[in-house]
Amino acid sequence: MNLLQAIIFGIVEGITEFLPISSTGHLILTAKLLQLEQTTFLKSFEIAIQFGAILSVVVLYWKSLFVKREVMKRIAVAFIPTGILGLLLHGFVKQYLLSSNMTVVLSLLVGGILLIAFEFAHNEKEDAVEDVAHLSYWRAALIGVAQSVAMVPGVSRSAATIVGGMLAGLKRKTIVEFSFLLAVPTMLAATVLDLSKSYKDFSADQFDVLAVGFIVSFFVALVSIKWLLRYVQRNTFVSFGVYRIAVAVLFLLFVL
C-alpha cells in the first residue's frame, strides 16, 4: 500500500465510520477496487485507522467521555458485551470474515433491507429517552449486545447501535450521539488488541502509511459527525438502506 492509497482509505473511513453503512465493509470493498490483497497488515490497517475517526468523537464530546459520570457509566455497561465477544472472537473475525468480500456484500444487502423495514415499522414514542445520562442500565446493555452483531463486516456498528437504541426507546438524535460515544472504548480496545499482536510484523514504511490513514480519517470524520447530526434531525435512515442495497447489487453484478 502506498501513501495515496492510505489517503483514499482515510477518506472512506472518515466518511463511513458513523453512518449506518459499515466503515469496515467499505474499507474491504475499497481494497477490492484498488486490487489490494487482504494481507495481515491491510487487515490491521483497516482496524487501526478506524480509531483515527473515533478520536474525532473525543475532541467533540470530551466532557461526556471524561467529565459526566452518569454518561460514562452507561458507556461502560454498553461496552461490556462487545468487549467480551470481541476478545473471544477477534481471531476468527480477522482470519475469516475480514477476508470475505461476499460476507460484506451480503451483510450490506440484508442490512439495507432490514434498515428500511425497521424505519417503516418504527414509531418513536413521545416519552423516548432524550438524555444519555437518563438511559437505564438494561437499555445500555441491550445497545451493547446490538453493537456486537457488527463484528460481522458489512453489518455496521453504527446501524446496529442505532437500531438497538431505537428499539430500546431512545430518541433518534440521542442514540446517534450514544453510538458516537460507545465507539470510543470499542475501537480503542479493537485497535490495541490487534496492534499488540501484529505490530512486530510491520515495517517502518507501513507505520508511515498507517499514520497517514489515521490522520486523514480523523479530520474527515469531524465533518461527517456534524453532518450526520444535522441530517437525523430532519430525515430517517431509509436513504442509507437504499444506498447499502445499491452498493451490494453493483458489487454482485460487476465486481465479485
Residue predicted with more confidence, 145 or 99: 145
Contact between 128 and 176 under an 8 Å Cβ cutoff? The reply is no
Q: Is 33 exposed, middle or buried (0-12, 13-18, 19+ CB in 10 A)?
A: exposed
Averaged pLDDT score across all residues of the chain: 88
Taking phi first (over 0 means left), then psi (-120 to 50 degrees means alpha), and beta for anything else, what does residue 169 get? left
Please tell me the predicted confidence (pLDDT) of residue 24: 85
Using one digit for the tens of pLDDT, what is the confidence trace for 153-207? 889 989 999 999 998 888 888 899 899 899 888 888 888 887 787 777 777 788 8
DSSP E strand boundaries for 162-229: none
Per-domain residue ranges of the chain: 3-254
Q: What sign for the dihedral angle of Cα 10, 202, 207, 37?
A: negative
Using one digit for the tens of pLDDT, what is the confidence trace for 51-81? 888 899 999 988 888 888 898 899 999 999 8
Q: Which residues share a beta bridge with 129?
A: 170
Length in residues, the chain:
256
Contact between 10 and 223 under an 8 Å Cβ cutoff? The reply is no
